[in-house]
Chain A
C-alpha cells in the first residue's frame, strides 16, 4: 500500500530522486515492531506515561471535594516563592546536596581503595571479603536502619562502650538525634551500605586492565604508585565517573533510609529532610497534613528537573572529556 503511493508520487515528481535503490519497495519491517514492541509498551506504560502525567498533574490544583482544575505554574510559584513552601524546599535541596557530597567524598575513594586491596594478588580470602563488603547493599534498608539505630543507641547501643574502650568515650553523643549530626550520620550509614557497588564495579574494571601494561611499566622502572596514578587510575576513570552519576541519581531519589530512621518529618527540625521525604509528605500527607497529589507532582517534577540538569552537566562536561583507551 505504502509502496504504491511512493511509486505514484515519484512518477509525478520524477526529478530529484537521488538513487534507484530508494524506489525499490521494501516490505514494512514487522520484525522490528515485533521485537521492540513488548518492551516499548512496558516502558511507555510504566515509565514514560507516568512521567508525562506527573508533569501534567503538577499544573493542576484540587479543591476539598477532590475536583481538579488547571492552575498553570501556580504550584511551582508556591514551591519556589511562598516562604512556607520554599523554605522546606530549599532546606531539602541543601540537605540533599550535603547527602550527595558526603557520598561522593567517601564512597568512591573507599570503593577504589577496597577494590585495589581486593585485586592485590597477595590477599588471601579475597572472595570472602568481597562478599562481606557487598552484603549490606543487598540487605533491606529497613534492616540497615534498624541495626544502626540499635548500634548507635545511647540506651542499648554498643558504640558508647566501644568508644570508651578505645579512649574516646567522651566524644560519644546521640548522633542520630542531634540537629547538627543527624544528616551526616545518616549519610555515613548510607555510604556504609552502598560502598559495595563502586567497589564491585571498580574491581571488575581493574581485572580488565591487562597485566602487560603494568608489567611493561614496572620493567621501565615505575614504582607501584606510578603504576596506580599513571596507568590504573586513568583506565578506571570512565568507571568512576559512571559510578558517580549513578550515585547522583540514587541520592536525589533517596528516601527509604531517612524514612526508616527518622520518619517522614525527618527531624530534628527537618535537619535530615531530603527531596524524597519532602515529596512523601507533600504527596501522601502526614498525620493531620492532608496529602496533595497535585503539589506532590510539582515537587516530583522539580526532583526530575534537578536530576536531569545534573545528568546533562555530566554528559556535556564530564562524559565528553573522558578519554577511553582501547585495551
Chain B
C-alpha cells in the first residue's frame, strides 16, 4: 500500500528520504493505539487531560495519542506523512479544498455510514463533503464565530454602550479617540490575515446577506464589484484613523497583547481569542456582533466551520478509529469540547450548556442572526490567482489606505474571472 502510493506520487525529490522514513517507522500493529494528527498544538493539554481520559472511561481498550504539528507546518507535514505512510489514524481536517484534495487522492476514508453522522446539520457537513454533497469524509468538530470583543471597563468609564449599527460603531470609536488615550480599534495589518478574516469576513455578511450572497458569488450571479462587496471595503476604509499608531507593522500577537494589557477598547475577534484573553486579561470583557448597516433589521454572522476530523484510509485500526469518531459525534464530547475550549462551538445538534460568559454571548447570536461561512472557502479559492490570498492582500491595502474600495473589488473579481467560468 505504502509502496504503491509512493510510486503514484510525484515527490521523487524526497523519495530517498521517504524510503528511509518507512524503514525507520515502527510498523505498529498494536491494534488499539490511535494517533490523532492535528494543528491545534495549543489544545494538547485539553486532549490529554480531559477528552482522551473521558473516552477511555468508556473504551479502556483503545489508547489514543494526540500528536499535533504547529499550525503553519500542518498541511505540508501532513502531506509528507501521508505519502510516506507514517500519518496517524485520525486526521484533523481543514475545511473545504485542503481536505477535499486529500479525499480525492484517496488519503481519507468515506464516512457516510459512520454512526453519529446523522447528528449533524447539512450546513455543518458542507465543509467536508464532495461538491455534489454525496460523500462526507470528515466529521465536523467545531466552528468559530466572528464578532468584536470589547473592554467592559473602558466602556463603563467612558459611559459607552455597545454599538448596534454602523454609525453607532463610528460614534463609539470617535468617542474613545476623543475622550481617552486608549487605542479605539485594536487590529494590525502586518500579518495580513486579520484584515481579511477579522475585517472583511467578520463585518461582510451583513452586506452580502450571508448565505444568499455567498451562493450568488459561487453561481456567478453576484460579482465582487457589486455594491454589497464594495460597501464592506468602504466600511473598512474608515477604520484607519481609529487603529493604533503604526498599525501597518502590528502583528496578530501585538494586537492580542495590546488588548489584554488594557490599552485598547475594541478588538475585531474570532471566538477562538476568548481562551487567550481569559488567560491574559485581568479585566472583564464582553462581545458584540458585527454592526449592521443603518436601517437593516436582519443581522448576519460568520459562523465558520473550521475543524473536522477524518479517518486515514491507510489506517490499520479502522474499527477502533470509527468507535472513537462515533464517540466524538455524541453529546459527551460536544459538552467537554465546548467547555474546555470556549470559543470553539460544537456543530452537532446536541444542546450544549456553555459556561464561559463570553463564549455564551457569541453562541447566543446563532439565535438572533443568520449564519454563514467565509465566502472564499468553498470552490472559489481553487484557481490561480487564489481568491483567499487576494482578499488578504486587498483588504490590507484598503485598511492601509493604499487602495480604493472599488479597486479592491475590481482586483479580486478580475482574479476570479481568470479561471472561474461562472464569472467569465
Q: Which residues of A contact B (CB under 8 A)?
A: 45-46, 49-50, 53-54, 57, 60, 62, 64-68, 83-85, 149, 152-156, 173-179, 262-263, 265, 267-270, 284-291, 293-294, 297
Residue of A60, A285, A288, A291 with most partner-chain B CB within 10 A: A288
B246 touches A154 (CB 8 A): yes
Q: Which residues of chain A have C-beta atoms less than 8 A from B382's C-beta? A: 290
Q: In the complex the two chains form, what is the Cα distance from A60 to B191 in whole Å? A: 33
Q: Which residues of chain A have C-beta atoms less than 8 A from B396's C-beta? A: 267-269
Q: Is B119 an interface residue (CB 8 A)?
A: no
Q: Is B402 an interface residue (CB 8 A)?
A: yes
A259 to B, closest residue via Cβ? B72
11 new A-B contacts, CB < 8 A, other than A65-B106, A177-B249, A289-B389, are A54-B13, A57-B12, A65-B104, A154-B244, A154-B250, A155-B254, A176-B190, A286-B389, A288-B389, A289-B381, A290-B98
Q: Which residues of chain B have C-beta atoms less than 8 A from A45's C-beta? A: 16
Q: A-side binding surface: helix, strand, loop or mixed?
A: mixed
Give 25 CB contacts A-B under 8 Å: A49-B16, A57-B13, A65-B104, A65-B106, A66-B9, A67-B8, A83-B418, A84-B418, A153-B250, A154-B244, A154-B245, A176-B190, A177-B246, A178-B249, A268-B393, A268-B396, A268-B402, A269-B397, A284-B75, A287-B193, A287-B389, A288-B97, A288-B386, A290-B101, A294-B10
B249 touches A153 (CB 8 A): yes
Q: In the complex the two chains form, what is the Cα distance from A266 to B418 in whole Å? A: 23
Q: Given contacts A288-B381, A291-B79, is CB(A173)–CB(B97) below 8 Å?
A: no
B192 touches A285 (CB 8 A): no
Q: Which residues of chain A have C-beta atoms less than 8 A from B393's C-beta? A: 265, 267-270
A66 touches B376 (CB 8 A): no
Q: In the complex the two chains form, what is the Cα distance from A45 to B389 in whole Å? A: 36
Q: In the complex the two chains form, what is the Cα distance from A269 to B248 in whole Å? A: 12
The number of chain B residues touching the other chain, given as a range, is 35 or more
Q: Which residues of chain B have C-beta atoms less than 8 A from A54's C-beta? A: 13
Scoring B residues 392 to 421 as 1 if CB is less than 8 Å from chain A, else 0, what string do you get?
Answer: 110011001010000000000001001000
Q: Is B189 an interface residue (CB 8 A)?
A: yes
Q: Which residues of chain A have C-beta atoms less than 8 A from B258's C-beta? A: 155
B385 touches A84 (CB 8 A): yes
Q: Which residues of chain B have C-beta atoms less than 8 A from A152's C-beta? A: 249
A245 to chain B, nearest CB (A): 26
Contact of A62 among B10, B188, B251, B388 (CB under 8 A): B10
Residue of A68, A83, A267, A286 with most partner-chain B CB within 10 A: A267
Q: Which residues of chain A have C-beta atoms less than 8 A from B235's C-beta? A: none
Q: In the complex the two chains form, what is the Cα distance from A318 to B187 in whole Å? A: 50
Q: Is B58 an interface residue (CB 8 A)?
A: no
Q: In the complex the two chains form, what is the Cα distance from A57 to B397 in whole Å? A: 36
B388 touches A289 (CB 8 A): yes
B102 to A, closest residue via Cβ? A66
Q: Which residues of chain B have C-beta atoms less than 8 A from A156's C-beta? A: 254
Q: In the complex the two chains form, what is the Cα distance from A291 to B74 in whole Å? A: 13
Q: Which residues of chain B have C-beta atoms less than 8 A from A297's C-beta? A: 13
A288 touches B10 (CB 8 A): no
Q: Which residues of chain A have C-beta atoms less than 8 A from B402's C-beta? A: 179, 268-269
B10 touches A66 (CB 8 A): yes
B43 to chain A, nearest CB (A): 20
B11 touches A293 (CB 8 A): yes
Q: In the complex the two chains form, what is the Cα distance from A297 to B386 in whole Å? A: 19
Q: In the complex the two chains form, what is the Cα distance from A263 to B389 in whole Å? A: 12
B324-370 residues with Cβ-Cβ distance < 8 A to A are: none
A208 to chain B, nearest CB (A): 42
Q: Which residues of chain B have C-beta atoms less than 8 A from A178's C-beta? A: 248-249, 400
B249 touches A267 (CB 8 A): no
Q: In the complex the two chains form, what is the Cα distance from A83 to B251 in whole Å? A: 31
Q: Which residues of chain B have C-beta atoms less than 8 A from A46's C-beta? A: 16
Q: Which residues of chain B have C-beta atoms less than 8 A from A149's C-beta? A: 249, 251
B254 to A, closest residue via Cβ? A155
B10 touches A177 (CB 8 A): no
Q: Is B76 an interface residue (CB 8 A)?
A: yes
A270 to B, closest residue via Cβ? B393
Q: Is B384 an interface residue (CB 8 A)?
A: yes
B138 to chain A, nearest CB (A): 16
Q: In the complex the two chains form, what is the Cα distance from A297 to B14 in whole Å? A: 13
Q: Which residues of chain B have C-beta atoms less than 8 A from A62's C-beta? A: 10
Contact of B191 among A154, A263, A288, A289 (CB under 8 A): A263
Q: In the complex the two chains form, what is the Cα distance from A203 to B273 in whole Å? A: 52
